[in-house]
Amino acid sequence: MAESSGNIRIDKFLWAVRLFKTRSSASEACRKGKVSVNNITAKPSRTVAAGDIINLRKPPAIFEYEVLKPLGTRVSAKLAEEFIKDITPAEEKEKYLLSSSVKTGFRTSGKGRPTKKDRRDIERFYGDL
């Protein structure tokens, strides 16, 4: 299996369990302070071990994961569930889903693409969400 015996870098682990599409985007999130391990902001080289709690900030929500086993190589999404456990509260997930649906706005089906004026009106109404 792709299991690692020791500790593994946080950026590599986040990429391996498919929380980020690329390892460089996982490293960038660490550098920007969006990732913390056991409530301590993590640099990309920070190591994680079994039992660590990872907090991942995706505004407006904070997702929490528990490391079950360290993992060094990328695996399928189905196998990734064996290495990480999602312990995010339901209200945080709901907050994230609600914010992503608000940004798109509501349009009746069949109306097609918004005109330039419609788009400007929508941007003016919602502002910077």
Which residue segment(s) compose the domain that 84 sits in?
8-88
Is 81 a member of any domain? Answer: yes
Is 84 a member of any domain? Answer: yes
User: For the chain, what is the domain count?
Assistant: 1
Is 1 a member of any domain? Answer: no
| pLDDT tens-digit readout, 50-79 | 999 999 999 889 999 999 999 989 999 999
Q: Are 104 and 90 in contact (CB under 8 A)?
A: no
Is 98 a member of any domain? Answer: no
If 0-12 CB within 10 Å is exposed, 13-18 middle and 19+ buried, where does residue 62 land? Answer: middle
Query: In terms of pLDDT, which residue wins out, 13 or 120?
Result: 13
Reported as a pLDDT band with limits 50, 70 and 90, residue 19 is: very high
Which of 60, 94, 92, 67 minimizes the C-alpha distance to 82? 67
